[in-house]
Structure formats: structure tokens, C-alpha cells
């Protein structure tokens, strides 16, 4: 891996979605994806069974496109292995596994002994890929004996691929999120340990933690250095937005937080499935939702959180950002194309700089529209990666972006 060069507290953070990207946290999909079967893929939040080798090639391609643009890549797995050298980090990651009530005390005790003995490399492997019943022959207890074929002693984390969701930076602070779906909850025990114990992040302050109300990074959009939009729907709960808003506004990391209700559907699970930024004043947006999208501005006044009146999203965003208009580039041309390309993450672009974004190549019409609007599109393949329902933005957590000039 590229080593984390930024010393403690220096250089980390992002105050926009489009400032030049300097460093990013990725997770190269691995054996955890080999766990997906037609029996468990729905629970594990995949819409198909990916061809893992091809998914890795696609992911490597993505990483190379970023490197070619001068972006430092940091792999979550490497950071985790280094983090697991720290005793307290090990203990916390192992405890997060053992709290699973399905285990029962007997199996829990055997499992603890097994995990305690693992070298950081092997422990990281098991924490990510999980442990299948048949792989843990020393298992004991009724929880083990009555486990069905195909069940896991430790559930795998195939959605770790979507690093945007398990942590997000707001200014110079990190928010380790609180993932809503049971299949993803343990992910944040890993990101929390990395930010807390990896020496590169020493001194970093946090603005959210996994024990708080449900909040996922895919819902958090840094519209400007003063304005954070937070989607609330299937994943982020209104209480999570309220909590983040209080923490962010109190810390002076923004002036306004916009709560943005999105339909509670799989297709629109996060705000970034319908809207991402491609310039400091432009978004690519799913036209089928644009007219109805609203926002509720939240401010701090005299130490209290003030909930403002609901407004159309575009109006509220432009007002809070202090610009005349937030420009919109629509997904696709007609509603059916738009719907197809939205499902395939056409809106889920990752900006590397203003007017330069990575997008899945398959969303032909959306990409053409972006280019017609003056956005340079770096196209990547994603047929296998897309089976997890996430695009370039979901698959990346910016660790460092240059502030906008
Ligand atoms: N930021 C995003 N849109 N992330 C997409 C996450 C997809 C993942 N399979 C899930 O259901 O959680």
C-alpha cells in the first residue's frame, strides 16, 4: 500500500465534495464476497452474486484511475492489520464479534480463545471475511451444533467495499457512522478501531460514533465548507441527522445542516444514490426525484438546534450556500433511461476535482449529459462491483481534499 504520509492531524479532512482529492480510503473486495450465495445475498444487501475475480479487476482499475490523478490510495485492510497490532484495538474488534447474541456462552468462549491467538493478518481476514460453520471445527455449544449449513459463526462483511458509508469526514473531523442494517453494523467496529488506534490518525477528533442514532456516510453531502446536506430515509434516521447537526454545528464545522428526506426504498437508500456534486455549484441528480426533493434547514441559535421551514431542496441549498442557483445535470434523458441509470449508480459519481469525476461507464446517457455540461468523466467498468448497488462515490471515503480556493 501507499504509506499514510500525512502526520497526525495534518492534511486529513474534507470540506467539500469536489476539492482536489489527495487521499482516499478504499477496500479492495476479497474473500468476503465469496460468501455470497442466492440464499444469503438479500440479507447481505447484494442484488446478485458477483464474479469475485472480475470485481477485483474492476476495483483495481478504479484505484488506478485515482492513482493516475495523483490520489493516494489507502486500503482499509492494510490499515486494519496495522491497527490490530494495538492490544486495545484487537480487544474492541474481537468484542464486537462476540457480542452477537446468536453465539451463546459456550461457543463464545471457544471463539474468543481462537480469535485471541490469531496473528493480525489472520485476525483481519476473519474479521472481514467472517467464519463459516464448517471452517470452525473446534466450535462447541448448542449455538454451534444447531447452526444450519451455510450459516456463519462470524458474519462476513461484503459491504465493507462501500467505504463511504462506515466513515465520513466533515472538515478536519471524522464521523464514524452508525450503520442501520444488521448486515453492516459490525463494519464500524473496524473503522472506529482504525481511526482511534492507527498511529497515522493520532490526535484526530471525531464528530460521530457508532453507538449513536443510525447515520450512514452515503447520506452525508458536503455542499460547501459551510453547508452539509444529510439524507434521511431507509438508512439515516431523522434522529441521526439531528445528532450530527448538533455535533457539527456546535464544533463550528458548518453553518447550516440541511435534512433531506429521501424515499425509503432500496433504489434510493442514500442521498448519494440520487444526487452527487460534480462542481462547486453543480450536482448530477435523478430527474424523477428532483421536483419533489425537499430540505429542512437546521441551525444553531443560543446553543439550541433550530429547525427551519421545509423548502424545495435546490432552493434551500442555493440559499444556504450563498449562490444564485445550484445547477442540475439530469440522469438519463427519458424517465425509463433515467430510472435504469439511477439504479446502476449513474448519480453516484466521485469528483476528483471541480468538473472532473469518476463514473461507471455503463451509464452512457448520464455520462454524455455530464460531458455536455462541461464535466470530464473518467469512466470505469463496474458490472460486478455494481451488484452491491454502489458506485464510485460509495466505494470511496475521501481522507483528504484540498479546500476550494
Ligand atoms: N453510499 C452508498 N450509496 N452506498 C451503497 C451501499 C450498498 C450496500 N449494498 C448497502 O445496501 O448498504
Is residue 60 packed enough to be buried (19+ CB in 10 Å), middle (13-18) or exposed (0-12)?
exposed
pLDDT, residue 405, reads 73
User: Full-prediction pTM beyond 0.80?
Assistant: yes
- CA–centroid distance, residue 286 to ligand 1 (Å): 17
Domains of the chain: 66-73+159-399 (3.75.10.10)
Q: Over pLDDT 90: what percentage of the chain?
A: 89
pLDDT, residue 261, reads 96
Atom in ligand 1 nearest the alpha carbon of residue 272: 3
Question: For residue 221, what are the CA distances in angstroms to 40, 87, 260?
Answer: 31, 35, 10
pLDDT, residue 2, reads 41
**Mutation test residue for ligand 1: of 162, 178, 348, 393, the one with most atoms within 8 Å of CB:** 162
Tell which residue, 287, 227, 286, 237, has the closest CA to residue 257: 227
Each residue's pLDDT tens digit, 314-337: 999 999 999 999 999 998 778 999
Atom in ligand 1 nearest the alpha carbon of residue 235: 12
- CA–centroid distance, residue 348 to ligand 1 (Å): 11
pLDDT, residue 272, reads 96
311 pLDDT higher than 50: yes
Pocket residues for ligand 1 (CB within 6 Å)?
A: 45, 159, 162, 164-165, 181, 184, 218, 269-270, 272-273, 388-390, 394
Average pLDDT, the chain: 95
Each residue's pLDDT tens digit, 137-154: 999 999 999 998 789 999
| Closest residue CA from atom 5 of ligand 1 | 390
- CA–centroid distance, residue 390 to ligand 1 (Å): 5
**Mutation test residue for ligand 1: of 45, 389, 395, 396, the one with most atoms within 8 Å of CB:** 389
Q: Grade residue 10 by pLDDT with cuts at 50, 70 and 90.
A: low
pLDDT, residue 263, reads 87
Residues 215, 208 contacting (CB under 8 angstroms): yes
- CA–centroid distance, residue 120 to ligand 1 (Å): 27
Each residue's pLDDT tens digit, 63-76: 999 999 999 999 99
Atom in ligand 1 nearest the alpha carbon of residue 184: 12
- CA–centroid distance, residue 268 to ligand 1 (Å): 10
| Closest residue CA from atom 10 of ligand 1 | 45
Rounded-to-integer distance, Cα 28 and Cα 294, Å: 35
Rounded-to-integer distance, Cα 2 and Cα 208, Å: 27
3-state secondary structure the chain: CCCCCCCCCCCCEECCCCCCEEEEEECCCCHHHHHCCCCCCCCCCCCCCCCHHHHHHHHHHHHHHHHHCCCEEEEHHHHHHHHCCCHHHHHHHHHHHHCCCCCHHHHHHHHHHHHHCCCHHHHHHHHHHCEEHHHCCCCCCHHHHCCCCCCEEECCCHHHHCHHHHEEEEECEEEECECCCHHHCCHHHHHHHHHHHCHHHCCCCEEECCCCCCECHHHEEECCCCEEEEEECCCCCHHHHHHHHHHHHHCCCCCEEEEEECCCCCCCCCHHHCEEEEECCEEEECCCCHHHCEEEEEEEECCEEEECCCEEHHHHHHHHHCCCCCEEEECCCCHHHHHHHHHCCCCCCEEEECCEEEEECCCHHHHHHHHHCCCEEEEECCCCHHHHCCCCCCCCEEEEECCCC
Atom in ligand 1 nearest the alpha carbon of residue 165: 1
Residues 166, 177 contacting (CB under 8 angstroms): yes
pLDDT, residue 265, reads 83
Q: Over pLDDT 70: what percentage of the chain?
A: 98
| Closest residue CA from atom 6 of ligand 1 | 390
pLDDT, residue 264, reads 82
ipTM over 0.95 threshold: yes
Q: What average pLDDT does this structure show over 296-314?
A: 96
**Mutation test residue for ligand 1: of 27, 42, 165, 272, the one with most atoms within 8 Å of CB:** 165
Atom in ligand 1 nearest the alpha carbon of residue 164: 1
Rounded-to-integer distance, Cα 182 and Cα 25, Å: 23
How far separated are the first and last CA of the chain, in Å rounded?
30
Each residue's pLDDT tens digit, 182-197: 999 999 999 999 999 9
397 annotated active-site: no
Each residue's pLDDT tens digit, 102-139: 999 999 999 999 999 999 999 999 999 999 999 999 99
3-state secondary structure 231-278: EECCCCCHHHHHHHHHHHHHCCCCCEEEEEECCCCCCCCCHHHCEEEE
6 pLDDT higher than 70: no
Could you say which of 93, 275, 394, 397 is catalytic? 394
- CA–centroid distance, residue 269 to ligand 1 (Å): 7
- CA–centroid distance, residue 389 to ligand 1 (Å): 6
Residues 295, 271 contacting (CB under 8 angstroms): no
- CA–centroid distance, residue 288 to ligand 1 (Å): 20
Each residue's pLDDT tens digit, 229-260: 999 998 999 999 999 999 999 999 999 999 99
Atom in ligand 1 nearest the alpha carbon of residue 216: 1
| Closest residue CA from atom 1 of ligand 1 | 218
Amino acid at each position: 500500500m501507499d504509506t499514510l504520509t500525512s502526520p497526525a492531524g495534518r492534511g486529513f479532512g474534507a470540506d467539500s465534495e469536489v476539492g482536489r482529492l489527495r487521499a482516499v480510503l478504499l477496500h479492495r473486495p476479497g474473500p468476503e464476497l465469496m460468501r455470497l450465495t442466492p440464499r444469503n445475498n438479500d440479507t447481505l444487501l447484494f442484488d446478485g452474486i458477483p464474479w469475485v475475480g472480475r470485481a477485483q479487476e474492476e476495483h483495481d482499475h478504479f484505484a488506478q484511475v485515482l492513482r493516475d490523478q495523483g490520489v493516494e490510495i489507502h486500503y482499509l485492510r492494510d490499515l486494519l492489520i496495522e491497527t490490530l497490532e494495538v492490544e486495545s484495538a484487537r480487544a474492541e474488534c474481537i468484542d464486537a464479534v462476540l457480542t452477537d447474541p446468536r453465539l451463546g456462552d459456550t461457543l463464545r468462549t471457544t471463539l474468543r480463545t481462537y480469535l485471541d491467538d490469531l496473528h493480525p493478518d489472520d485476525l483481519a481476514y476473519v474479521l472481514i471475511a467472517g467464519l463459516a460453520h464448517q471452517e470452525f471445527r473446534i466450535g462447541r455449544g448448542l449455538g454451534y451444533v444447531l447452526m444450519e449449513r451455510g450459516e456463519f459463526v462470524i458474519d462476513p462483511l461484503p459491504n465493507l467495499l462501500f467505504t463511504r458509508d462506515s466513515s465520513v469526514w466533515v472538515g478536519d473531523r471524522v464521523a464514524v457512522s452508525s450503520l442501520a442494517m444488521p448486515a453492516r453494523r459490525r463494519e464500524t467496529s473496524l473503522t472506529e478501531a482504525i481511526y482511534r488506534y492507527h498511529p497515522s490518525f493520532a490526535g484526530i477528533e471525531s464528530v460521530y460514533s457508532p453507538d449513536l442514532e443510525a447515520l450512514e456516510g452515503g447520506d452525508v453531502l458536503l455542499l460547501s465548507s459551510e453547508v452539509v446536506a444529510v439524507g434521511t430515509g431507509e438508512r439515516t434516521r431523522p434522529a441521526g441527522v439531528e445528532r450530527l447537526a448538533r455535533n457539527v454545528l456546535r464544533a463550528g464545522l458548518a453553518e447550516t445542516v440541511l435534512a433531506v428526506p429521501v424515499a425509503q426504498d432500496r433504489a434510493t437508500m442514500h442521498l448519494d444514490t440520487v444526487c452527487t456534486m460534480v462542481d462547486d455549484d453543480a450536482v448530477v441528480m435523478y430527474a424523477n426525484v428532483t421536483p419533489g426533493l425537499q430540505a429542512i434547514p437546521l441551525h444553531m441559535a443560543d446553543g439550541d438546534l433550530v429547525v427551519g421551514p421545509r423548502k424545495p431542496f435546490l432552493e434551500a441549498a442555493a440559499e444556504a450556500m450563498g449562490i444564485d442557483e445550484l445547477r442540475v445535470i439530469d440522469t438519463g434523458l427519458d424517465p425509463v433511461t433515467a430510472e435504469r441509470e439511477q439504479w446502476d449508480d449513474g448519480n453516484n459519481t466521485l469528483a476528483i476535482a471541480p468538473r472532473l469525476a469518476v463514473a461507471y461507464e455503463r451509464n452512457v446517457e448520464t455520462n454524455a449529459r455530464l460531458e455536455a455540461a462541461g464535466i470530464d468523466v473518467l469512466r470505469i467498468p463496474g458490472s460486478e462491483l455494481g451488484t452491491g448497488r454502489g458506485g464510485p462515490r460509495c466505494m470511496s471515503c475521501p481522507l483528504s481534499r484540498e479546500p476550494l480556493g
